[in-house]
Amino acid sequence: MRPGAAGTADRDAIGTLWPGRRVLVTGATGLLGGWLVDALRARGADVACLMRDRVPRSRFHTEAIGDHAVLVRGELSDRSLLERTLAEYDIRTVFHLAAQTIVGVARRDPLGTFESNIRGTWNLLEACRQQRQVSAVVVASSDKAYGAQPQLPYVEEAPLLGRAVYDVSKACADMIAQSYAEVYGLPVGVTRCGNLFGGGDLNWSRLVPGTLRDLIGGRAPVLRSDGTQVRDYLYVEDAAAAYLRVGEVLTERPDTVAGRGFNFSHTKPQSVLEMLESISKAVGTEIEPVILGEASDEIPAQYLDSSQAMAELGWEPGIGMHEGLRRTAAWYRAHLGNGG
């Protein structure tokens, strides 16, 4: 076994971490946030959620996750609120997911994106530094932080070369997290995931929810790109398991994880057109897409090598692409059937 790798006995021991543990999740109303809160509660954690806006039909609210968690209303720009929350609820683990995550919005509103994704990250990390009881902070970066690279798949040792607004915002948050670990010894780990999909994503401009809504409604899916771009896709419950795993190892063996980023993906990249075909099979409906070919400035291919997370953290996708798409399609059928 490689140094720092997680064996079965180690995984079992670390899995007992969550009962009664006090956890803060930022961005809980987002796609990953709702599933992560659900997974933490299922493991017995006491969860507090920082929430800026109430999204009535988000999975966080409609499936009663929020009824069993402390809801703190406020923004990442309010550092005094962050410090009060960490202190008052005796938070031991922090999952920082809150961000402006839509690439098109980032292009239209760069300052708002930088404020949310960069300043919000340093505010939270500084609050954690002041609250010594916090023993693990997991910060969400992205595969987009790598930018255009001469070699694929992305490996963790590759430099962060993001140039587009969203990509730069995630690269900066990533490096700020690394800085707090290196300079201040803050126990911070970084996750870099491919494109997440799953029930609860209400950002219809994204490929999976937008395509599902169109197919279920009997309409032709609309692709902004020409469909040739190659991307990684990761089912949201597999992503939630990855975040839990980083939080567990960071708590039990901080020296092996703190200050490091880990890649998470299904390791089976697909073009947009291939992914659309996979979605169509999950729904059982095939309709020829409308291809706009407007997204000409996107990086042609982005995908990750997840072997380091598998070897050192003992993580692997337990649900996978096929089953993940089946579950996702079922969620949207129910959601859209109820007037979503």
DSSP assignments along 20-67, one per residue: T-EEEEESTTSHHHHHHHHHHHHTT-EEEEEESS--TTSHHHHTTSGG
Element (H, E) at 262: strand 261-264
> Which domains occur in the chain, in start order?
8-194+236-264+305-314 (3.40.50.720)
Task: Kindly report the pTM of this predicted structure.
Answer: 0.92
Q: What is the DSSP string of 296-323?
A: TTS-SEE-B--HHHHHHH----SSHHHH
Can you give the pLDDT at residue 14?
Answer: 52
Q: Supply the pLDDT for residue 58.
A: 67
User: Which residue shows structure tokens 């279920």?
Assistant: 216
| Residues identified as active-site | 166
Q: What is the CA radius of gyration of the chain?
A: 19
| Short-list 216, 195, 222, CA closest to 101 | 195
Question: Please, what are the averages of pLDDT over each run of 10 residues along the chain (340 residues)?
Answer: 40 72 94 94 95 72 67 94 98 96 90 96 98 97 96 97 96 98 98 96 93 96 93 97 98 95 95 97 94 82 97 96 97 83
List alpha helices for the chain, DSSP H. Answer: 8-14, 31-42, 59-62, 79-88, 103-108, 110-114, 120-130, 165-184, 207-216, 236-252, 254-257, 272-283, 307-313, 320-337
SS3 101: coil
